[in-house]
Each structure stands twice: as C-alpha cells, then as structure tokens.
Amino acid sequence: MAPSASPQSEGARPRTKSSELGNPIPRVKVDLTDDDFRESAYEILLANIGTTALSARSVGSARSKPEKSMTAVAASRMKKALGLKTKTGAYKRTGKARTTAELMRDQMLIPEAVDMRTRRALSRAAAGQASKRTELMLVPLELLQNIPASTFTDNSEHSRWLKRQLRVLEAGLLAHPLVRGDSQGVDALRLRQCLKEMYSRGSDTGKNTESIQALRSAAMTRATRPYNGETDDDILHWVDGYPLNANLYAALLGACFDTVDEGTVLEELDDLMEMIKKTWGVLGIDNLTHNMLFMWVLFRQYVNTGQTEVDLLGAAESQMTEVVKDYKSSRPEQWNLLHAILTTIQSWAERRLLAYHDSFPEGAGSLMAKILSLAVQSAEIIGDYDIFIDKKRRQKTPPNIVLGTVDLYVRSSIRTAFAQMMEEVDSRRKAAEEPIPALAQLAKDTLALANKELDVYSPSLKEWHPYAGGVAAVTLHACYTREIKQFMSGVTALSPDTVQVLEAADQLEKSLVQIAVEEGVEAEDGGKALIREMPPFEADRVVGDLARKWVEERLEMLGEMVTRNIEQERWEPDSLKERYAPSAVELLRIVDETLDAYFALPVSQFRDLLQDLVNGIDIQLQKYATETIGSCGSKDALIPPIPPLTRCKTKKSWFGKGKGEGKSNRSRVPQRKTAPTSNEIYNLPHLCVRMNTLHYLNAEIDSVEKKVRFGFQKEPTLSNHQPSMHPSEETVDSNLYRTRGLLKEGIDKLMEIAAYRVVFVDLKSVMWNGLYIGGVANARISAVTEELDIQLGVISESSAERLRNRVIGALMRACFEGLMLVLMAAGPARCFTVSDASMLQEDLKSLKDLFIADGDGLPADKVDREASLATEIVSLFSLPTNELIQRFNTANGNGKGGAKPSFPQTTGNWSKSDPDTLLRVLCYRGDDTASKYLKKTFRLPKNE
C-alpha cells in the first residue's frame, strides 16, 4: 500500500477492484502490494531504457534525440491490429508535448521528484559500471547504495522504500529464484541473514557501508548463478523467476490504459510497448509470456471498468489468437501461468454463458460472440494441452472440446431460461384475453424460446457449434417432456383443457423435431444422435387411450339415454308439432353433440376409433328402433282365429229364424283367443307417432352419415369462400345401413300393425261382429266405411305427411284382407246366396271408392291392383253351386282313380283356384245342394 503522505498518491486514478475475477497470477511469498510491484516495475524499466535517457533527465537538460516527441502521434498500428478504436489520448488533450518516458512515468503514477531521485541513482550506478550493460544492474541493490536516507522527506517514507527494495531482493533471489538451488545453502542463508539485519536496522545504507557490501556480495552470488548450462557471466537472474516477474510485468502493462478513461488504451501504445519490451531480458519475459499477460491485462481492464468497452474484449480475443500459436512450446511455469489465466477467463465467461439468455437479454451481438470466443478457446487450449502432454490420451480419439463446451452452455442456459419461463407462465396465461391451460401456454412459450434461440443466439453459437440450434431444441424437448409426462400421468379424462394441452404439446414436439432435423444436417451423423435424444412425448398415445375411454363412456351414456327415454316416452300424438317423439329429437341431439365433440378432439389419426364410435351409434339407434317397434306386438296377434268349417243353413231355414235366434247366431261369432295388452294401449295415434319417429330418424340418418364422412376437415372453396367439406377418413364405414334397414322395416311393420288394429280391433263391432250377419241385405258395408272414414281422419291428423298415403295404403290392404276373411272365415253367423253376389260387388266398390275419395285419395289403379284378389274372391259368390262343386273337385283332384277325396289345407292364400277357398265358398253357400255335397263328401256338421 502506498504511503499515505507520499506525493505518489497525487493525481492517481482510483484503482478498481478485481474481486469478481480474482488474480490468476499467484501471489509472491513476500509481502509486496500492487503499489510495490508498480513502483519496482518502474524502477526496473528506468534501469533498462538506456544510459542516455537516464542522464538526460538526471541533469534536466533538453530532451535528447532518442526519445520521441508525443506532440503528433499517428494512429497506433498495434491498436488497429487489436481492433481497438482510436481515441484522443490524455496527453494529447493537455496540449503538452511529452516524451514516451514522461508518459510512462505519469501512467505508472510516479511523482516527478521520485522519478528524478531514481534516475540520478541509476545514472550513478551506470557510471560506476560503464563497461557493463545497464540491464546487468541489480536494481534494488544499486538504489540502496545510491539513494541516501537524507533524500526522503521523512523517515517513514524512507522506511517503506527500504523495505520494498529488500523484499524485492528476497522475492527474486530467495522466494522465487529462476535458478533453483538449495534454499538452505550457505549463499542462501548468508543472503537471508543480510536482509534480516537490514530489515531490523532500517538505517541509512550508504554506498560503502559494511552491511551494504555484505548484502551486495550475498545477492550477486545468488544472481550470477548460471541457468540451464549458461556460461556467460554477464547475465543476472534476480527478478526473472515466476511469479515475481509476471506480477512486475503485469504492472508495466497496466500503464497502457488512459488514467482518465480507464477503458481506453492510449494512442501511444506502440511507443509504450516498445519501451516496456526493454525489460524482457531482466524479467525473463518472452513473446509467449508477453502475449499471455497482455491478454490477461486487457481482459481484466474490460471487467474492472464496468464491461462497457467491448473493444477491450475483442483485443483480449486477438491476443488469445497469438497465444494459440505458441502455447504448446511453453515451459512448465509458462503453462501454469497460462492455465491460471485461461481458467480465470473461462470461469468468468462461463458464469454468463451458462445462462446467456439472462446475460444477453437484448441479443447476442458482438459482446456474446467475443465472450464465447474467449471461453471456448480457453477450454480448447486447456483440454488440448492436457492431451498434448499425455501420450496415452493422445492415442485415443480426442473429444471435441469446442463442441462439448458450447453444448454445455446451450443446455445450461436453455434449462435456466425454461425454469424462469415456467415461473412466469401462470401470470402470462392469466393476462391473456382468453386464458389457456398452463401447459398449453408453456408449450407456446417454449416454441417462442426455440425460435428466439435460432434468431438471436444461434448465429454466434454456430461459429463454434454448427448445430447449436438443434441442441437447444433437444434440450427444450427434454425440459417440456418432464412437465408433459407428469401431466399425462394424472390425466383421466379427455376434457377440453386436456385436449388443448395435448394439442399444444404435439405441435411443439413437431416443431422442435423439425428444428433438430434441419440443424442436425451439419452434424457428422446427420443429426441421428439429436433425434435419439428426443423420445416422443407420446401425447398421441395418451390421446388415443383417453379418446377410446371417451368413446366408450359416450356410447354407454347414449345407451343409458336410449333405455331411459324409451321407458319414459308417452308417444303422445300432440307431443310435437312435427308429430314425432321428443326422445328421438334428444337422441339425435346427443348423437350430433357426440360427433361434434369427437371431431373437436385431436384424434384424426385413430381411424379405428371413429369406426368404433360409428358402430356404437349404429347399435344405439338400432336399439331405439327395436324398442320402438318391439313393444307394439305383431299383426298376426290381431287377426282372429279361423273357426272350423261347417255346413251353412239353407236360405229357407235361415230366414225362418226369429229375432231371438238371429241374435243367438250373432253371439256365436268367433272371438279372438287373446289380445296383447300392448294392442289395447297403443291405439292408432300412438302407432302413428311411432311411425313418424322412425321416419324422422331415417330422414336424419343422412346428416349423421355426412358428419361422419366430413367431420374432420373444412376449408373454403375458391368460388365463394364457403366451407366445403372433404372426407377425413376414407377407411371409415359411415353407412348406418343396419339402422336404416331396421327403420324402414319398422315403419312397414308399424303400418301393418296400425292397419290391422283398425280393421280387426277398432272396427271389430261393425266389421267382424256386424258385417253380413243376418244376411247381406241387412248388414251392408256402409257401417264399416263410415267408421273407416273416421279412422282415415285420425291417420291424416296423426301421420307425417310423407307417410300418410303409405299408412292409408296399408289400411286399404288390411280392409281388403279383412273383407275376404269375413267372406272366407267369419264363422256360422254368415250365409250367402248367389243373389247376394251383386251386393257384395257393390260393397267392394264402395270400399274401393272410399280410398280413392273422388281422386283426392289413393290412385285408382293402385286401389284396383290391391283389390284384385278381393274382386276375384267376390266373383266366386256369383257362381252357381254346381259350378263351384265342379271347380272344387277339379282343383282338389276328387275322385281320381277311385281315391277318397282329401280335405284341403287352409293356407290363408285365397284365390279362385285354391281348393280351400272354393270349399269355404261352398260351406257358406245357403242352399241344399251345397249342404248335401259337403255332408256326403266330408261329413261336415251343420252349423247350429
């Protein structure tokens, strides 16, 4: 530490601390401060700049010719080579012309009085050994001999000066000598004793005092020892041992910076450096050591002056390039120094590069590029030198140190940036106009970070690592993998938030993989190693599993809804204006919502899943249709059983009966054995609502199938920019043909049930229990048509418009079949004669006219077609009995080969050539001929 009262402190620039960096140059084992090194380094410099300069200044004469005038300094070639900007120097600003020596004095913060005192002493010493070179001076010893205590302003200043000179001698000759020897040898012990005596005495040294002579003798003995076989006795080794020489030389190099603007290198750098290099011989400095220390001083100055002068960083980088050329030829102490400097630089740089997103938030630019260059080259030199000196390691494939170093920086900084981003995700998510799930926001931010990495940082990183962007993508993938895996392990349902997160994760993964693929082209393996570092998120697998579960749950819910709604449905005809059941509307609504929800999921790649959903919907629609149809019974249960055949009474006996007998006969009309309870519940309006419902479902099936086929893709057409659909799943069978077939079959079945119910249940009293009973003339079909007209009104009000004519057509067919059943199998209460045929034909025509309705009903040709069989059967009633018997015998094959006539089987398929049909006409023929034939041939009993 400089003396407090010393004039040296006047005008001195404030020294910045280097605590952030530390000092890679080891401390000497003697108590020497930075000021001690600075002052001693200046003394050594003065001793080596030449006797002319010393004498010129010592006598205060005009400046000698060898010293350059600084009045007009050209731009420094060295600064230009180092990439340093040209600035106006401090001494140029003052307007005073100064020599290089004067500039160095001021830069070293040496007061003029101290400089003059030192110069005079060194001049006297040089005059005393004129035959020798000035660099052969042992400077502290010469100063001790030639500067008396009386030249100091006070005793404390002299004491500090004296101790510094002695400590320099101790450091150079005992603590850190270049020429190693026995530190406990005679010469070492003698020098140590001399120094100890002078430390304790602290008195005036004088030129010829006994103590100074003893010190000179002991010091010169140590300093003149030869080094590595030297024979020239004109060489002194007193201050060229490491690390003393490095500390002294670093103090000299520190003089290159402006005392006012410490971040600026003086324009006079070339001249100053020429002067400083004169100390190389004394300090044992060579070009490599100079480059190492100058690199360190430039870098230290950049850090200690606030890291604002990027030029200094570039200059340090330039010096490192010079070091790279020669470092493999370094001596052990040089390598130790270089290793320490590089380690210090690398450690400082790595603290920024391991989190370069924080260190360089505004972008990489030249600053990051320079720091990165220093860090990478430091790591490369350290690692490469270790391999260079290790033969065993040289035999193996050396690692790519540069790639490994940059890889470390990228991965570390990306992880740090990702962790910080995670902390900010929630606040950004909440601040968004439409907040999204945290992991979805994180995916968006991660992709943004990846793009920023490529745009801002990768250009600098790629100078050292050609696929640094790919490493960043891989690292981000790994970071997000941890989060998405944890998320997916807790997901149990495919909610909208879950879908959003998984979609965002999938998009992020595709983008990161694409970056890795594009960046990995520059890698030796084409990027295969990068891709191997990116195991899939498996978001699609999770989506598939959840979607399958979602489909199963939706289909289960749909099934429960079908069961519940069928059970609760009342099938009221006025339940909807559209005349179909609300349960069907609800069913289709849920189907539609289910499909919409499914197509909103990111599941287009799961083709079998959509097929499962379609199949499940098909099954539930079939279930609904089956339940709608099945509970209504069947038409066969509505048809009364055919009674056994008997011989009809003659017309005479029929009309001879009294009213009571007629009534008795009416009561004997055969009744149905049983009638399903459902048939009593589901009347015509209910059945119409069921038919309408199935028809409604059938009409809407097209929409369902279309949505299945085109649910995933929509894009505008070129003509009108309206959404036009395109198949998203060509392999999915979207045709609900099973449901469609069942619906059509069900509609037909319900129409038949409705028609047969009207004929055989609703018209029972007027048709089955009234028509033609007591004689055709007494019970014509008008009563039936009147009731039918009412039922037609019910159909018109209850049926869907497109079903109305079909229902009426089914009713028409049922009426013709009922009429034929009345004629063929209505029991013993009915009896017909040939004379009744015309009335029957008239009744048939009335029935046909009812359905034609003067052209407002069914088409006449259709009615005629449906009535053709009834017309054919009615025509049989006009045939004479003998002709009927003949036709029956012919049709039945009676009497052939003397065989006994067979009784024909009843099939219900009436026709004029059917034996059973002809036999029944005979059985209901009210004349003696028919009765006798039936009695004789088949022994049929007479009805009673």
Q: What is the pLDDT of residues 428-464, one digit of tens each?
A: 777 776 778 899 999 999 999 999 999 999 999 999 9
Mean pLDDT of all residues in the chain?
83
pLDDT: which is higher, 194 or 19: 194
- Is 105 inside any structural domain? yes
Considering 354, 376, 399, which residue would you say is the last residue of a domain?
399
**pLDDT (tens digit, 9 = 90+) per residue, 565-620?**
888 888 877 655 668 888 999 999 999 999 988 888 777 778 888 889 999 999 99
At 69 the pLDDT is 43
Residue of 299, 292, 279 lying closest to 331 (CA atoms) = 292
At 944 the pLDDT is 60
Give the pLDDT band (50/70/90) at residue 195. Answer: very high
Contact 377, 324 (CB under 8 A): yes
Q: How far apart are CA 505 and CA 510, in angstroms?
A: 9
Same domain, 116 and 71: yes
**pLDDT (tens digit, 9 = 90+) per residue, 883-922?**
999 999 888 887 555 567 788 888 888 999 999 999 999 9
Same domain, 244 and 382: no
Mean pLDDT of 138-142: 94
Work out the burial of residue 427: count CB atoms within 10 Å of its CB; fewer than 13 is exposed, 13-18 middle, 19 or more buried: exposed
Residue 790 neighbours by CB distance under 10 Å: 12
Considering 517, 537, 557, which residue would you say is the last residue of a domain?
537
Same domain, 319 and 389: yes
Q: How far apart are CA 640 and CA 31, in angstroms?
A: 131
Same domain, 437 and 559: no
Mean pLDDT of 655-671: 38
Give the pLDDT band (50/70/90) at residue 25. Answer: very high
Q: How far apart are CA 840 and CA 842, in angstroms?
A: 5
At 575 the pLDDT is 54
pLDDT: which is higher, 773 or 51: 773
At 823 the pLDDT is 92
Residue of 756, 635, 744, 741 lying closest to 691 (CA atoms) = 744
Q: What is the DSSP letter of 27?
A: P
At 902 the pLDDT is 82
Q: How far apart are CA 770 and CA 780, in angstroms?
A: 9
Give the pLDDT band (50/70/90) at residue 715. Answer: very low
- Is 421 inside any structural domain? yes
At 544 the pLDDT is 84
With tokens 């060579």, the residue in question is: 286
Mean pLDDT of 646-656: 61
Q: What is the percentage of the chain residues whose pLDDT exceeds 70?
A: 83
**pLDDT (tens digit, 9 = 90+) per residue, 245-273?**
999 999 999 999 998 888 899 999 999 99
Same domain, 387 and 248: no
Lowest-confidence pick of 5-9, 409-413, 461-465, 846-850:
5-9
- Is 784 inside any structural domain? no
Residue of 101, 191, 77, 203 lying closest to 149 (CA atoms) = 203
Same domain, 200 and 237: yes
- Please give the structure tokens belonging to residue 664: 């008795």
At 655 the pLDDT is 41
Look at the chain and report how many structural domains it folds into.
Answer: 5
**pLDDT (tens digit, 9 = 90+) per residue, 517-553?**
999 998 889 989 999 999 999 888 888 888 899 899 9
- Is 442 inside any structural domain? yes
- Is 762 inside any structural domain? no
Residue of 276, 321, 269 lying closest to 295 (CA atoms) = 321
Q: How far apart are CA 748 and CA 720, in angstroms?
A: 43
At 493 the pLDDT is 83
DSSP states along 400-434: -HHHHHHHHHHHHHHHHHHHHHHHHHHHHHHHSSS
Query: For residue 624, what are the contacts with CB-CB under 8 A and spacing of at least 6?
Result: 562, 566, 583, 584, 587, 697
pLDDT at 840 over 50: yes
At 578 the pLDDT is 67
**pLDDT (tens digit, 9 = 90+) per residue, 215-226?**
999 999 999 888
pLDDT: which is higher, 648 or 592: 592
CA atoms within 13 A on the CB side of 533: 19
Contact 816, 847 (CB under 8 A): yes
- Is 303 inside any structural domain? no
Give the pLDDT band (50/70/90) at residue 294. Answer: very high
pLDDT: which is higher, 495 or 354: 354
Same domain, 90 and 117: yes
At 391 the pLDDT is 54
pTM: 0.70
Same domain, 726 and 618: yes
- Please give the structure tokens belonging to residue 469: 């962007």
- Is 391 inside any structural domain? yes
Q: Which three-class secondary structure state does DSSP give residue 942?
A: strand
Give the pLDDT band (50/70/90) at residue 346. Answer: very high
- Is 775 inside any structural domain? no
Q: How far apart are CA 338 and CA 330, in angstroms?
A: 9
At 202 the pLDDT is 67
Considering 376, 399, 422, which residue would you say is the last residue of a domain?
399
At 390 the pLDDT is 62
Contact 742, 675 (CB under 8 A): no
Same domain, 604 and 686: yes
At 880 the pLDDT is 95
Same domain, 36 and 137: yes
Same domain, 232 and 325: no
With tokens 């002579």, the residue in question is: 213
Give the pLDDT band (50/70/90) at residue 417. Answer: very high
Domain coverage including residue 604: 542-629+678-738
Mean pLDDT of 148-152: 90
Q: What is the percentage of the chain residues whose pLDDT exceeds 90?
A: 52
At 61 the pLDDT is 30
pLDDT at 297 over 70: yes
Same domain, 526 and 616: no
Give the pLDDT band (50/70/90) at residue 737. Answer: confident
